[in-house]
Amino acid sequence: MIGPPRRPAGPRGGRRDRSPRRPVLDGARLTAYDVLDGVSAREAYANLLLPQLLRERHLEPRDAGFATQLAYGALRAQGTLDAVLARLVDRPLPDLDRRVLDLLRLGAYQLLDLRVPAHAAVATTVDLTRAIVGAGASGLVNAVLRKVATGGNRAAWLAELGTDGDRRLALATDHPEWVVAAWRDALGGDAELEDALLADGAPPEVHLVARRVPREVLAEESGGTPGPWSPYAVRLGGGDPGRIPSVRDGAAAVQDEGSQLAALLLARAPLEGPDGRWLDVCAGPGGKAGLLAAVRPAGVHLTAADRAPHRAELVRATLRDEDDVEVLVADGRQPPWAPGSFDRVLLDAPCTGLGALRRRPEVRWRRGPEDVGPLVELQTALLDAALTSVRPGGVVAYVTCSPHTAETVAVADAAAARDDVDVLPVAPLFDGVPGVERGPYGQLWPHRHGTDAMFMALLRRTR
């Protein structure tokens, strides 16, 4: 990673410095490049790396906003950018220096999707290339980006690429073709497909959850508006939520409204018998456990478990001010607790994350269809163990942040086929949320609800 350059020393002894002028690098563009570099070189997560860099570099708000737009936009549009660049580079893109490819993507994104003047987009990217890679690579970047600019904006290039069908939809909405097919299957056809994919790629609003502060107080101090679906949600048009007092002291947090509904599903489920022990079985990093702790009735003991110690530590931090909670490092497939220990169990299962791509723009290119099978095996094993962990008459809420049929409906259907499991319909528990039905299960959508595409199933152990 390269930091901001030092100012060149002035001439000494009256001698004129004839060395080439060292460019003053643009802090926003350099920060965006460092995010792309972290993602491609170390498989970093942009939503974790970018805030860290912004804090370290103290960029002005306007520059921080531009860096965010550049980094997230270039990562999101990588498929389209690469399709354009592949037309203009005389070798396969994977054969390029990784740093050069990231710089080309950064420059091409400014030319195709932003109103950055061509001379500025090209010149600043060439300066970055010269500083990061060397003068030799800057000639290639200059030549390729000038050709990108000559071809026009995104619409012109999509016409030039001349694709149709799912390939056109994939490029137009910045999704891999296999994800387009998966969303079509989940939606049951093409009627809403393009709207759903466009919403899945749009920058999301910031959603807050009011855990230990009245929602109206949080809305007033944040300048946000109450969310339409969760009674604990506040939506912000922008700004840094870390500056909000209730967020700083842990009474509120950043949490998608869909994730809030998934946690509330467990709390709202009708129950037969006692109601004193709740479990969040894959609790890291702790957002849903935090809301469950806040909304549980008095006397309910909450256990939050995660197999990864560092994620369990995040859960402990979230629950640090809550009474009657315990946090365990435990694998939900081989739990340390006895069968039938809990009255309510939340299983927010590991998944492809195809429903949360708005917040994790690089994940769409990191995941592949080959990832689905192993995840389904894991989800099935976790759900089977969760149903063993709940007592007869108790309920399990199965949740994923993906609409993919294989890891949602198919996993829930397989569990429902057991002779000791009943399916409880989800929609009646969200009476004010239209369009949530997916058979007896629940599905939230970015284009319908402005949330992540959360899937929810509610299963009751009968004996």
Strand order in the sheet with 206-210: 225-226, 233-236, 206-210, 252-254
Q: Which one of 180, 401, 444, 454 is the catalytic residue?
A: 401
Does residue 23 have a cis bond before it (omega within 30 degrees)? no
- Distance, in Å, from the CA atom of 262 to the CA atom of 348, rounded to the nearest integer, reads 9
Query: φ, ψ for residue 133 (rounded to 5)?
Result: -105, -45
Count other C-beta atoms under 10 Å from residue 313's C-beta.
16
Q: Are 280 and 302 in contact (CB under 8 A)?
A: yes
| Residue/partner pairs of 174-182 with CB below 8 Å, 24 or more apart | 174/76, 174/77, 174/78, 174/79, 174/80, 174/201, 174/364, 175/79, 175/200, 175/201, 175/357, 175/364, 176/79, 176/364, 176/365, 176/368, 178/368, 178/369, 179/354, 179/364, 182/354, 182/403, 182/404, 182/405
35 with 73: CB under 8 angstroms? no
User: Two tokens at 344?
Assistant: 């309510």
Structure tokens at 243: 């500056």
DSSP string, 349-383: -----TT-TTT-TTHHHH--GGGHHHHHHHHHHHH
User: Residue 28 and residue 256: Cα distance in Å, rounded?
Assistant: 27
Catalytic residue flag (residue 401): yes
Does residue 317 contact residue 253 with C-beta atoms inside 8 Å?
no
DSSP strands (E only) in 38-170: none
Question: Going by DSSP bridges, is the β-strand pair 325-329/342-348 parallel, antiparallel, or unpaired?
Answer: unpaired
Q: Residue written as tokens 């198919």?
A: 410
Question: Which residues are bridge partners to 233 per DSSP?
Answer: 209
What is the Cα 132 distance to its own chain's centre?
29
Strands 233-236 and 225-226: antiparallel
Which residues carry out catalysis? 401
